[in-house]
Structure 1
Amino acid sequence: MKPLLAWVVMVWCDAAAAGTPLRDGRQSLAHQGIERGYVVRLPAGAPPAGQRWPVVLVLHGGGGDAAITEKTTGFTALGQREGVVVVYPEGTGRLGNHLLTWNAGHCCGQAMQRQVDDVGFIRRLIDQLVADYPVDARRVYATGISNGGMMSHRLGIELPDKLAAIAPVVAALFGDEKKPAQGVSALMINGALDASVPLAGGAPGGRFANAWDGAHPLPAAAQASFWAAADGCTGAPEVTTQGAVQRTRYRCPAGREVEQIVLADHPHAWPGGERGSRLGAQPSMALNASSEIWAFFKRHTK
């Protein structure tokens, strides 16, 4: 065991023995002079003997926050059932904790315009979680919706040493992304009825189209092609359709997996989740994205 990891384990064990409870709920850390918020949701009890909890980072969409994302995805309940630490990081905004966005490159809002170092924030957050909780640094995953899904792509590209897999939801790539230094398994979920991030690519729509920098996203299928190339997958993918659910799976080396799911009846929302607001789109119930994503994640470690 490496000295630093041994020290972290010793400190956590001493705290547990002394009856010090692990912190659950809203927390913060400072990064580049900005106080950044995040919400931690822990499983009940301690990890099984000799084991550590996996961690799933769930990133909100543009204009969202941790509370909205926790409600719409249902990931907290899943984490408690499955023994997963679920963390809801928050972006930045002009109005304090309102209308938060991520700097995903070409989107969105203030975070993009001010070139906020969201990658650095997430790197520090992962290190903080490893220091504060009995979590497995080899099983850290990132997912997110819309702007948060785009940020998940960026994290996979720039933090492949930290993440075992990513799962962007109703997101896209733009064509100027660099190949990551190492492979990261990726699951993408998109909707054929999505007007905000169109399945065919092109100009974004929806209420917040002006939050982008003018670059047009590629067709949704380009996400899978990008990660298939990054992961060394070869040959034509296998495409299957069952009802409203179409799956495209690539042939990848052992330990790597790339899959894209397109839902024929799905708009810009979290599949199988709750509607974000009365103005939000009604999600498809053809698939539960949170369950699908966790089933994908738990097959992968660093």
Structure 2
Amino acid sequence: MRTAGMPATGNRRRAGWLALIIWIVALPAAALDPGVHTLELEHDGRQRQALVHVPDDAGEPPWPVVLNFHGGGGHAANQQDYSRLHELGGREGFVTVYPDGTGGILGRLHTWNAGDCCGHAARENVDDVGFVAALIDRLIETLPADPQRIYATGLSNGAMMTYRLAQALGDRLAAVAPIAGIIAPTDAGGTPVPILHIHSRDDPRALFDGGLGPPFPLTRTRVHHPPVNASLTAWAERNGCRPARAATDEERTWRGPDTEHRAVRLSYADCPAGATVQLWQLSGAGHVWPGAEPALTRILGPATEVIDANAAIWAFFRERRRAAAAATSTD
């Protein structure tokens, strides 16, 4: 036999459970555990993904994040295994993210839409800028990443993509460090972004002095590369630097087996605080990630240890924050 008070008790219990559920759902998401995670998201009708390396000792979140874009014909795991930037991230306490491009077969041979280049992504006008913007949003939400310390680097087609992001998402990136690939800015304004460019004068594929590069392996596809010095000068002028030849800051030499490689670090003059532009100009090296193990040398040219790209990139990034560039820049 039910009493008159029982329905009210049941209602109170249901209300209590509902309040508990609402409270649990409202709790902030926990930071990702240390280790490697595959982050997936849908953008523009495509399923996209990235590999996320959270170091064991990253300190308290929000964390700095370095986006590392693979070259044309590569993929996220390939860039991870080649550059090994996440190993430095494990020691220095930053999160490394390897995004995946599109196209190819069996999860390989991906490209980025950097405008005029490259491959499937450019032909299909894939919205890679929108994908990266959505990826940054997800990283801020789920890591959580520090919005003031989002950085980007990449190799070859990934370097070109990095420059496209510097122009399209300059208000979201604290600094960029492209390697062996460049595009000139297509606008004279926009948010200034600190740039460290790394490129060999003897690069056999992304030609330092510009021109039509050799065909991609097993294809007839060729890419016209703009000259590095003229393009970087355009970026420096866009950042508000004085339009003058870059001055030498540092020189290095590395003697390998039967070879000698050189590196000169150049800086553009009178850049505004937080908008510095620098170039590591190498000689003797190929189309490579400096400091990485040799790979496909017949196609890419010689590997080099004249500089460690990972160390140079992080040294450039770690002093720069997007919202406080003037206070933290080492210009």
Partner of 1:3: none
Partner of 1:5: none
Partner of 1:4: none
Q: Distance in 2 between matches of 1:128 and 1:186?
A: 25
Residue 281 of structure 1 and its aligned partner are, at CA, apart by 3.5
Residue 10 of structure 1 and its aligned partner are, at CA, apart by 5.9
Partner of 1:166: 176
Q: How many percent identity over aligned positions?
A: 38
Is 2:175 the counterpart of 1:186? no
Residue 245 of structure 1 and its aligned partner are, at CA, apart by 0.7
- The residue identity in structure 1 corresponding to 2:229 is A
Q: Secondary structure at the match of 2:285?
A: coil
Residue 94 of structure 1 and its aligned partner are, at CA, apart by 3.7
Normalized against structure 2, the TM-score is what? 0.80
Partner of 1:34: 46
Q: Out of 255, 268, 273, which is 2:292 matched to?
A: 273
Could you tell me which runs of 5 or more consecutive residues in structure 1 were left unpaired when the two chains were aligned. 1-8
Q: Secondary structure at the match of 1:226?
A: helix
Task: Kindly report the root-mean-square deviation, in angstroms, between the aligned alpha carbons of the 2 structures.
Answer: 2.1
Residue 217 of structure 1 and its aligned partner are, at CA, apart by 2.0
Partner of 1:246: 264
Partner of 2:319: 299
Trace 1:1-302 onto structure 2 (pairs within 5 A). Answer: 11-12=28-29, 15=30, 21=33, 24-48=36-60, 52-173=62-183, 175=184, 177-205=186-214, 207-208=216-217, 210-212=220-222, 216-234=224-242, 236=244, 237-240=246-249, 241-243=251-253, 244-251=262-269, 252-277=271-296, 280-302=300-322
Change beyond 3 A, Cα 1:291–1:21: closer
Residue 66 of structure 1 and its aligned partner are, at CA, apart by 1.2
Normalized against structure 1, the TM-score is what? 0.87
Structure with higher Rg: it is 2
Q: Highest relative contact order (Cα 8 Å, sep 6+), 1 or 2?
A: 1
Q: Secondary structure at the match of 1:11?
A: coil
Residue 211 of structure 1 and its aligned partner are, at CA, apart by 3.9
Residue 176 of structure 1 and its aligned partner are, at CA, apart by 6.4
Residue 91 of structure 1 and its aligned partner are, at CA, apart by 0.3
Q: Secondary structure at the match of 1:155?
A: helix
Could you tell me which runs of 5 or more consecutive residues in structure 2 were left unpaired when the two chains were aligned. 1-25, 254-261, 323-331
Q: Contact (CA 8 Å) 2:204, 2:301: kept in 1 or not? A: no
Residue 242 of structure 1 and its aligned partner are, at CA, apart by 3.5
Q: Secondary structure at the match of 2:237?
A: helix
